[in-house]
Structure 1
């Protein structure tokens, strides 16, 4: 039985939990942290409501997250069935280990499916991971004997692509993750409902790019129309982290600056209807406590902030 989460509206509108009721998407977080906890790294299964055909947004942790999801009632089948049958493919924002290690370690037990990413990310996976030196070559390209379990599917920025074996499509955007290194954001669509997922990224002002602003311009009409159901956006460090040591990440201060930019395009009243899912918190020391407090203190837009829990599913 799926574990339902009641909507809880705090008086000061600081953090919210959300339910599956009348949702367009089901989300099951397999990993939510940005480091240290190797059994809880970025990975989010998402499918249209009522469907068991999921895409996995990044894959830092798989098996541990699947096991926790089953314990929490998100799935009523075995760990093996979730990995092999429910996950139909992977959207990888970039090839850092905290976003792909679960995919690599579980590859021997996985089934045939596709890995979607920008070409430079696929190149890193092909040349540095599935190469018979770091790990057997489970891909369809690259060094040595090809086991052909995974097919590499290169994404083209701004071009919508059907996600095989699902009722979803994806449009990818480039992000800056400590310029000149790249990451990606994914706009997932089912019918006329959308979810936007960001991989790791620094603020435009620090990264000296306009990548995030370009995304805001593109998706603001969806917010106005009520079609964008949620935005997954990282907050890795508390505000005390110096800008020259962000390494392509956000803080609560920078998150709210970006939200203000988006509200100028989409309208403050529309922003308050949008779920903002906070990802990639680095839990070292008391970072998580600080980040939660700073998000509360800086939420002048009264955004619906959601901090997901590993293995606890929710709807968007």
Structure 2
């Protein structure tokens, strides 16, 4: 540094007096350059992730028990992950591995060290069975849910009758493999061990409180909705309240991916919905969101991943095509509808 400064300052420089201070300032800056430390690339990537990665470990409703609601989410370039629901874990990880969609990670690495937390929309078995079974061998996970969901997990499952108490509350002895964390609706909560936050809003699911989560990392967000029915059939307006809360994120371009459900095809009477959606009701709900966003082409570029389809056993291919065809009635919304298969992977900007 001294040599560089002396070489520059000993050179014969013809400069007018008015430019002397400008030249001196430039020389000082040059002499200090070696002292400036380059930012840490990994820290920068963690602070400002370029998007969110989503892997479908389970996509079905119904009785096909190796493929039930479970979505792995993590920032791009950062394997520290959370699960939105966990009806299936082990089999979903094996399928995703065979399809090359775990980013080079093994199922054991993903379950053992990558997955830090579960976001549980409600406590029905097709949304929690994988988590409960995995607690036997993969401890140390946080479980984020609304208080009503954690209450069911603690009292009805983790009670030493239905299943050992792997949680840190409830009936002794408490094994502590699962750390139950109650969420307050509408409050962004840091997800332990990850670079993500999650915000919960209640949904109505046939008399059971379900949940929608907004997962955020940097300027990227994904909405993951649990089972729910249309507002008119449920007697409330929780769906509308959710869209009102999420509309600013769509308007700003942060929220580009929505995971939601359409369990049955149309037509289906309201009395037979059992707290679920069909393509007709889903499209109507998305139109409500578009109105809340309040601009032309409000949902253009948004991807809607349609999960929890209750495929007939052995007839899933035809049923997926039927659901997709019926969702075509909402093509004017500008959204991209996907009826996923187990092991699929997407990047959400």
> How many residues are matched?
294
Aligned residue for 1:157? 185
Instruction: State the 1:296 CA deviation.
Output: 1.9
Give every structure 1 segment of 4 or more consecutive aligned residues whose post-TM-superposition deviation is greater than 4 Å: none
SS of the residue aligned with 1:314? strand
Instruction: State the 1:307 CA deviation.
Output: 2.0
Whether contact under 8 Å (2:262, 2:278) holds in the other structure is: yes
Out of 62-71 and 220-229, give the one that drifted further: 220-229
Aligned residue for 1:51? 78
Aligned-pair RMSD on alpha carbons? 1.4
Aligned residue for 2:328? 296
Task: Work out the CA distance in 2 between the residues paired with 1:113 and 1:68.
Answer: 22
* 1:252-284: CA deviation from partner (whole Å, max 9, x where unpaired): 000010111111122341301111111111102
* 1:50-90: CA deviation from partner (whole Å, max 9, x where unpaired): 11000000000000000111111122232211111111110
Whether contact under 8 Å (2:220, 2:254) holds in the other structure is: yes
5+ long unaligned stretches in structure 1: 1-21
Task: Work out the CA distance in 1 between the residues paired with 2:247 and 2:132.
Answer: 36
**Considering only CA atoms, is the larger Rg found in Structure 1 or Structure 2?**
2
TM-score in terms of structure 1 length: 0.90
Q: Which has the higher helix share?
A: 2
Aligned residue for 1:242? 269
Task: Work out the CA distance in 1 between the residues paired with 2:197 and 2:164.
Answer: 30
Task: Work out the CA distance in 1 between the residues paired with 2:300 and 2:310.
Answer: 26
TM-score in terms of structure 2 length: 0.81
Task: Work out the CA distance in 2 between the residues paired with 1:23 and 1:30.
Answer: 22
Aligned residue for 2:145? 117
Out of 141-150 and 277-286, give the one that drifted further: 277-286
Out of 215-224 and 37-46, give the one that drifted further: 215-224
5+ long unaligned stretches in structure 2: 1-48
Alignment partner of 1:143 out of 171, 176, 182? 171
Please say if 1:85 is aligned against 2:113. yes
Aligned residue for 2:130? 102
Aligned residue for 2:6? none
Aligned residue for 2:337? 305
Aligned residue for 1:131? 159
SS of the residue aligned with 1:172? strand
Task: Work out the CA distance in 2 between the residues paired with 1:297 and 1:23.
Answer: 33
* 1:91-140: CA deviation from partner (whole Å, max 9, x where unpaired): 00000000001111221111211101011111111111111111111001
Aligned residue for 2:303? 275
Task: Work out the CA distance in 1 between the residues paired with 2:50 and 2:192.
Answer: 22
